[in-house]
Amino acid sequence: MRRFVTVSLAFLVSVLTGYGAATHSYVGVKACTPCHKTEKQGKQQPIWQASPHAKALATLKTPEAQKVAEKAGVKGPASEAQQCLKCHVTATGVAAANLKPTFSKEEGVGCETCHGPGSDYKTMAVMKDQAKSVAAGLIPVSVQDGTAEKQCKTCHNTESPTFKGFNFKEAWPKIAHPTPKG
């Protein structure tokens, strides 16, 4: 009986403290591309590739961005400043142990910025089932429930030194990339 109580208490403590909770890793756009580049799947990768999000880190490496950063009080290169990278690179501040070799900060703002780290949901076996995908770490983003707008506004807001307002209804069609039904 004593052993049962000890094991039960250990289990309860691990559940309450989150010990053993899944930590998903970032895999990068290349891991998403094989399935999300086709017409059948909605061509999300080409839409992203043509967007400013794909070039977000490159933007920070320009002389113009450096001037903006200096004016905002950034010391050193804008492309290395955490306050800039948090909105220009997926997984900024994440421990290196949670970045898979396929991940590259050069991708700028990639899939996992909005949809969460993909290591455990990236396979077709998981992705074909929405519930499994979410259980494996996928963050569903929807225009209808407001989660898409909320996610966009985590960076498109007054904290940005170049913010000039953000109209979600105008911006969304430029990056919309739904998966076709059926």
Domain coordinates of the chain in residue numbers?
Answer: 21-175
Contacts 24+ apart (CB under 8 A), 144-153: 148/114, 148/172, 151/114
The pLDDT score that the predictor gives to residue 182 is 65
CA distance 154 to 1: 51
CA distance 156 to 143: 16
Which H or E element spans position 170?
helix 168-175
The pLDDT score that the predictor gives to residue 22 is 60
Give Cβ neighbours of residue 149 (< 8 Å, ≥ 6 apart).
143, 168, 172
pLDDT by residue, tens only, the chain of 182 residues: 544 333 333 333 333 333 444 689 999 999 999 999 999 989 999 999 999 999 999 999 999 999 999 999 999 999 999 999 999 999 999 999 999 999 999 999 999 999 999 999 999 999 999 999 999 999 999 999 999 999 999 999 999 999 999 999 999 999 999 988 86
Per CATH, the architecture of 21-175 is what?
A: Orthogonal Bundle (1.10)
